Structure 1
Amino acid sequence: MDQSVVGPGVPLTGAQWARIELLLPDRTPKRGGRRRDHREVIDAIAFKFRTGTQWVHPPERYGNWREGCNRLRMRAVDGTWERVFTALVAQADVDEDLAWAVSVDSTIVRAHQHAAGARNKGAPAGEPGDHAIGRSRGGPATKIPLAADARCRPFAFVPTAGQAGDVPAFTDVMARLRVPRPRGRPRTRPDVVLADKAYSSRAIREHLRRRGIRAVIPVPADQRSHRLRRGSRGGRPPAFDRESHKQRNTVERCINRLEQWRGIATRYEKTATIYLAGLHIAGIFLWSAR
């Protein structure tokens, strides 16, 4: 069953759990007491992000909400969720179930009033000063620039403030494309990058050209007119493969799958670190269900 389209109460399947169980830290408590099973806690965290509910109102089957909240924060800070997400992508690459035609786009999500008030003092390392919340036309918001593969699965996320531009975040998204391999260096360079007209800039095209990545990005009418006005000084127009560009909808479909999780479609988390962890957990469910 496709876990991207099922209801909020559906836990990890046995096949999904088999993919991720060995990627998680040791469950043995260092000192006395009983630590809840990882699978139970992940199901509780996923329920919270799928439904957008508050931590204090989970169903009884998920037990004490504090352990789920603490485990989410602790594993977000030490990078566990991102490592599991990356390992699942790497396994798909080993199984030749990974297409390296990468589509890039962004989406804006509204930040709920509960997302306000994060303290700068004591924030996790790497937490942006604005907590990736800014003001767009719809009010407080977070923008999620992301890359997706040809099968509508997320490759990388870089949450930014809602008013931030897509072009400055592009290089950050590309920098997070890092898929480990059994031998040699991780793969960081896709075969082709597909994007819409918003990404048609000299800086982006030069960045891709320098790395030997084919760009499939249409040229806006104003840029085309400007080049024609300059005549021979305008240079040759960038190559554009219209047929290949039809695959760009995969990133939009990936965004739709992520935003079926209500806690992703609306941001309730105060820090960007925890919200990014939610994105990684949603990605873990998508990749483990392949």
Structure 2
Amino acid sequence: MPLTDAQWARIEPLLPDRTPMRGGRWRDHREVTDAIAFTFQTGTQRVHLPVKCGNWRGVYNRLRMWAVDGTWEPDVVLADRAYPKQRDTVERCINRLKQWRGIATRYEKTATSYLAKLHIAGIFLWSAR
């Protein structure tokens, strides 16, 4: 499910500038974030992204770059709600994360990509509140 306008309004200011250090402008962050979330929600492989999502290599490269530089880190994005203290809250969160097929089945080959996947799912859950 793509980001709603309300979700995007909460997430957009947290993402880096669209002008990279080298080269031209990046593809729209919202389109790439939606494509990343699509792979995680459906469990599909990146190489099987629909054409409307763009080139899978660009999506993967942005995911990896932002995972390495800490863009997806929860201490930056979820500082006010990152560490719930009640067990039922944690269990509800885990159950909502399991609805993302790519998280429940753990298709990612690297820990960095899987951790980024968890962060992105958390961002989607946070922004939907």
Q: Same fold (TM over 0.5)?
A: yes
1:2-17 correspondence runs (5 A): 10-17=1-8
Quick one: which amino acid aligns to residue 275 of structure 1? Y
Give the match for residue 78 of structure 2: 89
Query: Quick one: distance in 2 between partners of 1:101 and 1:288?
Result: 16
Quick one: which amino acid aligns to residue 257 of structure 1? R
TM-score, with normalisation over the residues of structure 2?
0.90
Bigger radius of gyration among the two = 1
Query: Quick one: distance in 2 between partners of 1:44 and 1:274?
Result: 15
Does the 8 A contact of 1:51 with 1:262 survive in 2? Answer: yes
Give the match for residue 102 of structure 1: 85
Residue 34 of structure 2 corresponds to residue 43 of structure 1: yes
Task: Summarize deviations over 1:94-126 as a string: whole Å, max 9, x none.
Answer: xxxx5x7614xxxxxxxxxxxxxxxxxxxxxxx
Matched position secondary structure for 2:46:
coil
- Over aligned residues, Cα RMSD in angstroms? 1.9
Give the match for residue 253 of structure 1: 92
Alignment partner of 1:270 out of 101, 109, 117: 109
- Bigger proportion of residues as helix: 2
Query: Quick one: distance in 1 between partners of 2:105 and 2:128?
Result: 24
Query: Quick one: distance in 1 between partners of 2:29 and 2:103?
Result: 22
Query: Quick one: distance in 1 between partners of 2:100 and 2:77?
Result: 20
4+ residue stretches of structure 1 with deviation over 6 A? Answer: none
Does the 8 A contact of 1:49 with 1:278 survive in 2? Answer: yes
Alignment partner of 1:64 out of 55, 67, 80: 55
Q: How many aligned positions are there? A: 129
Matched position secondary structure for 2:109:
coil
Return 5+ residue gaps in structure 2 as ranges. Answer: none
Give the match for residue 70 of structure 2: 79
CA apart distance, 1:19: 0.7
Does the 8 A contact of 1:88 with 1:288 survive in 2? Answer: no
1:65-214 correspondence runs (5 A): 65-82=56-73, 85-90=74-79, 93=80, 102-103=85-86
Return 5+ residue gaps in structure 1 as ranges. Answer: 1-9, 104-247
TM-score, with normalisation over the residues of structure 1?
0.42
Quick one: which amino acid aligns to residue 115 of structure 2? L
Does the 8 A contact of 2:18 with 2:25 survive in 1? Answer: no
Which 10-residue stretch deviates more, 23-32 or 37-46?
A: 23-32
Give the direction of change, closer, same or farther, for the CA distance of 1:101–1:289 in structure 2 (3 Å limit): closer
Query: Quick one: distance in 1 between partners of 2:29 and 2:124?
Result: 14
Quick one: which amino acid aligns to residue 69 of structure 2? D
CA apart distance, 1:254: 1.3
CA apart distance, 1:32: 3.6
Matched position secondary structure for 1:33:
coil
Does the 8 A contact of 2:35 with 2:59 survive in 1? Answer: yes
Query: Quick one: distance in 2 between partners of 1:284 and 1:70?
Result: 19
Residue 120 of structure 2 corresponds to residue 284 of structure 1: no
